[in-house]
Amino acid sequence: MSLKTISFSSHPAGRMFIVGFAAVTLVLWFMSKSLFVFAAIATAWCVYFFRDPRRVTPTRAGLVVSPADGIVVGVREVVPEPGLGLSATACTRISIFLNVFDVHVNRIPADGVIKSRIYRPGKFLNASLDKASEDNERMSLTLEMTGEHPYAGKILGFVQIAGLIARRIVCDAQEGSTYKAGERYGIIRFGSRADVYLPAGLQPQVALGQRMVGGETVLADALSSEPARQGDVRE
């Protein structure tokens, strides 16, 4: 097995935490063996939390991929609230909840150009609750979709939402920047939510309760005529 195969990468936003946890663990080695064990476990969890794995993103024009790992906790028609940079036209919002064991690196959902970036301070409610989309601290981005498909030129919205434990949203995307679907653009620390607002008329191709893989799972297809997808739990 090559070193490239077994290499491990972490997101830059987490490296200072990993170093800090490791330093405390080293000090506790000389002070208290029992506390050292707890600190070592915490350090290992910190390394795991900030992992930044490679992803294989489908590249066909018109695909919208998940911006985050996690569970779909909401697929519903909404009128975007003011302050997101979106029009007041009803559209589908897909909400993804990330627990503390999910990869928290966020990825661009579709090919396009960032049109707006809006930060809003707020509460830190449990991110699995529907009202977190409106009340919690968040960073919202809008993207003008590009490519050879019927929704080229339409606006897609996606939002990083802080959660009960998360207290820091990191967003590297800037207005005017051009992205490909699946490219990294930020991270949320520690446990959070990601919302995607599809352009009006674009049907979701995921079901409530489905697990997402950021940068890989297809949320919608601009070239498909399939209606909104339904799903049942299979034991």
Active centre residues (catalytic): 192
* Measured distance CA(70)–CA(213) in Å, rounded: 7
Beta strands in 4-66 (DSSP E): 63-65
Pairing of strands 168-171, 70-78: unpaired
Question: Which residues, including other chains, have CB under 8 Å from residue 89's CB and lie 6 or more apart?
Answer: 79, 200
* Measured distance CA(55)–CA(71) in Å, rounded: 18
Pairing of strands 70-78, 91-98: antiparallel
* Measured distance CA(76)–CA(87) in Å, rounded: 17
* Measured distance CA(199)–CA(149) in Å, rounded: 13
